[in-house]
Structure 1
Amino acid sequence: MIFKVAVLQMRSLIGEYDKNIKTVLDNMTEAKRNGADILLLPECFVTGYDPTIENDKALDDNSSFIYELCNQAKNLDIGLVATAITKGKCSPQNSAFVISRRGEILMKYSKIHTCDFADEKLLESGKEFKVCDFDGIKIGIMICYDREFPESARILMLKGAEIILVPNDCGSMNPRIQALSTRAYENMCGVAMANPDGANAGNSCAFSPICWDSEGLCVDNTLLLADAETEGLFYAEFDMNELRTYREREMLGNTFRKVNAYKSLLNSEINYPFIREGQNKIQ
């Protein structure tokens, strides 16, 4: 079984909800025409990336924009990872909706690792990493800065994720691309990332977890690596049968972990040299 992910490398317009929605609808149509199972958008695509937006102006979960995307998914029989700044309890959240081929919202995930060293300190952080079932494939989401922390992908793997989709919006991509390849390798999960195009940006990518064959010979796990400045759709195909066979036989993921030695991971104390302004934000 091939799971084909369409990855949109494009920059949306801040506050131009109608124009951004039209862009998404058009790209859903093209992705479906090219045989994709799901379309992955960059971070905050529907609203544009503006963490300074007021909560009452952020996107409501029940807005007509979300309905329109769900309706298009159903009409085209294609999934969608839709992204936006959404209303939170007190402050906006940076969120992603996984929408099924039938137009149902399977999951809403809000970014846990908000960039509290920048304008995202104004946002309300999510509380839980989540996994949903998309046509029999377990999908997890992590958003941009989430991917800098190995724990994000690790928790998604522990919750059953087979494929991790990453809406993104940042630059200086080379080390981040390498890290995503590592996330795929160490968790035995497929990974795909969508990033807006631009100088020092772009490089949307996808990686298979399969890093060696059944004979133990290394193979290239890169399924997609776009350039920085090309705008448009890119595609990555995950062979789910091969991926699952690999997960059944290899020794990464949740196989020989020594969890009794991991207690320090839950220690919230921060010491030199990692002390930064804004770390006291209430979670």
Structure 2
Amino acid sequence: MRNPVYRLNVGIITMEADPWELEKNFERLEKYTREAVNRRADLVIAPEAILDGYAYGADPEAEFKELVSIAQKIPDGQYMQKGSKLAKELKIYFIFGFLQISNNKLYNSVVMFDPEGEIVSIYSKVHPKNESFITPGEELKVTDTPFGKIGFLICSDRGVTDNFSTLGVQGVQIIFLPMDGAGGTENIDALRYKAMDNHCWIVVANTWSCALISPQGEIISQRYECECVTLQRIDVHSHLAEEIETQVPNESSSDNISEPRRKFLARRPDLYKPLIESPGENAYFDSKGQPTEKEIKSRKSWKNSLRKKKR
């Protein structure tokens, strides 16, 4: 039987990074991480693409070769090593977004290190809308940690309810949601219902805002500033203690499943075929997760709009 850590002090970094400036961005990230730890954070989370400044989405002139030159390999990339070292030194869980390269493909990813500097989880954005040269991720998974089952989504992934449900049915207790933009009050309000539906905490770390939402859909904290560290406590015990030691909700016995999660046992998979069918010619991604012509056109249109803004 596990002895989980029921209470977690989470430091949320709000910071806007500069495109292409990896060293400068990491120095600032380290500064805010140390500030969070000085305020007794056990876990520190930073926004989407904080390492590279979202270069592939912010710079309309970005080329594949240029992006490859700043992308990080797992686990040997320069800034993966720095992140590991910092997590180990400070004895924290450390989460931040970065541009990943694997098999000559680029991914919008997030990494989580444990207090020993080991990688706990890597997640790649499954809906990289308007992100040139980015390959969609292929997995929505839940990872066991001493403080519960965790999962990740990145920015526009939040717009597809099925992503939350896929994590929810696996028993997720905390969803970490790094973002770059689109973090206004209407988006935070929408996340309240995702938290309630899946009975989990949602932690939002954005470039100019942050939020913490409880499994009951209560906004525990939300803040709108460009440069700050917010510290919040997640009390897993008070909301989820009865579930930490129990079965994943799709197992045969439901005797130990708490009421908020019991609904997952009432699902009717025989009725859900339309959910997994492709939207057809209007789809942004095909059945293999690759961008369709519609998504490619959307990316080109996004680039052109960025060029106009810079004139």
Distance 1:245 1:267, change over 3 A: same
SS of match in other structure, 2:233: strand
Q: Which residue identity lines up with residue 154 of structure 2 in the other structure? A: I
Q: Which residue identity lines up with residue 282 of structure 1 in the other structure? A: Q
SS of match in other structure, 2:55: coil
SS of match in other structure, 1:3: strand
Q: Which has the higher helix share?
A: 2
Q: Measure how far apart 1:256 and its partner are.
A: 2.6
Distance 1:186 1:23, change over 3 A: same
> Counterpart of 2:290?
282
SS of match in other structure, 1:250: helix
Asked if residue 60 in structure 1 is aligned to residue 73 in structure 2, the reply is yes
Distance 1:205 1:136, change over 3 A: closer
State the distance in 1 between where 2:182 and 2:227 align.
15
Asked if residue 256 in structure 1 is aligned to residue 266 in structure 2, the reply is yes
> Counterpart of 1:216?
none
Q: Can you list the C-alpha shifts for 1:57-87, whole angstroms capped at 9, x where unaligned?
A: 1222211211111111111111111211111
Q: Measure how far apart 1:124 and its partner are.
A: 0.7
**RMSD of aligned residue pairs (Cα, Å):** 2.1
Q: Measure how far apart 1:33 and its partner are.
A: 1.4
SS of match in other structure, 2:73: coil
Q: Which residue identity lines up with residue 86 of structure 1 in the other structure? A: Q
Distance 1:53 1:135, change over 3 A: farther
What stretches of structure 2 of length at least 5 have no aligned partner? 1-5, 57-61, 244-257, 292-311
Q: Measure how far apart 1:114 and its partner are.
A: 1.0
Asked if residue 225 in structure 1 is aligned to residue 235 in structure 2, the reply is no
> Counterpart of 2:215?
209
Runs of 4+ in 1 over 4 A off after TM superposition: 278-281
Q: Which residue identity lines up with residue 43 of structure 1 in the other structure? A: E
Q: Measure how far apart 1:246 and its partner are.
A: 7.2
Q: Measure how far apart 1:251 and its partner are.
A: 5.2
Equivalent residue for 1:38, pick from 35, 38, 43: 43
SS of match in other structure, 2:12: strand
Equivalent residue for 1:75, pick from 89, 101, 106: 89
What stretches of structure 1 of length at least 5 have no aligned partner? 212-220
**What's the TM-score, normalizing by structure 2?**
0.78
Asked if residue 14 in structure 1 is aligned to residue 19 in structure 2, the reply is yes
Equivalent residue for 1:171, pick from 182, 202, 217: 182
**What's the TM-score, normalizing by structure 1?**
0.85
State the distance in 2 between where 1:250 and 1:222 align.
18
> Counterpart of 2:300?
none
State the distance in 1 between where 2:192 and 2:28 align.
29
Q: Which residue identity lines up with residue 138 of structure 1 in the other structure? A: K
Q: Can you list the C-alpha shifts for 1:109-162, whole angstroms capped at 9, x where unaligned?
A: 1111110xx2x1421111001222232421101000111111111111222321
Q: Measure how far apart 1:28 and its partner are.
A: 1.8
- Identical aligned pairs, as a percentage? 25
Q: Measure how far apart 1:53 and its partner are.
A: 5.0
Task: Select the structure of larger CA radius of gyration.
Answer: 2
